[in-house]
Amino acid sequence: MNDLDALRYPIGKFSPQPSYTAAEQQQLIADIQALPEQVAKAVQHFNADQFNTPYREGGWTVQQLIHHLADSHMHSYIRFKWTLTEDKPTIKAYDEKLWAESSDNQLDPHLSIALLKGLHAKWVALMQGLSQQDLQKSFIHPQSQREISLERMLGLYAWHGKHHLAHIERLKERMKWA
C-alpha cells in the first residue's frame, strides 16, 4: 500500500466475507451502535479550524466526513427498510461528492453527530430484530445492477464507520491534536 492509499484507506479497503456467523453479525451491529459516540469523542475538543482541516490533501474536511457519515448511514437505513418491505427493490443511488459539497454541510457538524445518535439507535433496533432469512434479502444497486444482501450491507457499514473514524483519528495523530 502506498502513502496515499494508507491515508485514503487507513484500515484497508472493505473486504466482505461470503457470510458472517451470528456472533460476527452481532459484533458488526455493535460496531455500528458504537460509532456515534466514538465520533463525538474523537472531535469533542475540535475548533472550527480543526473541523475544516482535510483528513488528507485533496480529501474531505473533518466536518464533511461527519456530515457524510450521517448522509450515507441515512441512505443505508432506508435501504434496509426498503429491502425488508419490498421484493428486491432497486434503490436510489446518490452522488456522495456532490452531497458533501451541499450547503447543509456547512452547518455545525455536531448536528450530524446528533442525527447519527438517533439514526443509529433506530437502525440498531431494526438490525437486532432481523432473522437470518431477513439478512439474506437483497436490493438491486442501479449503477452496478448487482444484488446486494443486507448481510453484506451490515459488514460494509460497520467497516464504513470505522473507515471514516480512522480518518479523523489518524489526522489527530499526525497533527498532534489532543
DSSP 60-111: -BHHHHHHHHHHHHHHHHHHHHHHHHSSSPBPPP--HHHHHTSGGGGS-HHH
CATH number at residue 72: 1.20.120.450
Q: Is residue 11 part of a domain?
A: no
For residue 7, tell me if it sits in a domain.
no
Inside any domain, residue 132: yes
Helix (H) or strand (E) run with residue 42 in it: helix 22-42
Residue 1, pLDDT score: 66
Residues 6+ apart with CB under 8 A from 16: 152, 155, 156
* DSSP secondary structure letters along 118-178: HHHHHHHHHHHT--HHHHT-EEE-TTT--EEEHHHHHHHHHHHHHHHHHHHHHHHHHHT--
6 found inside a domain: no
| Residue 140 belongs to some domain of the structure | yes
Q: Which residues of the chain have pLDDT under 50?
A: none
Residue 52 lies in a domain: yes
Answering whether pTM is above 0.85, one says yes
- pLDDT value for 178: 78
- Domain range for residue 112? 21-175
Q: How many domains does the chain have?
A: 1
* Residues paired with residue 90 on neighbouring β-strands, in sequence order: 140
Q: Does residue 14 lie within any of the structural domains?
A: no
The answer to whether residue 5 sits within a structural domain is no
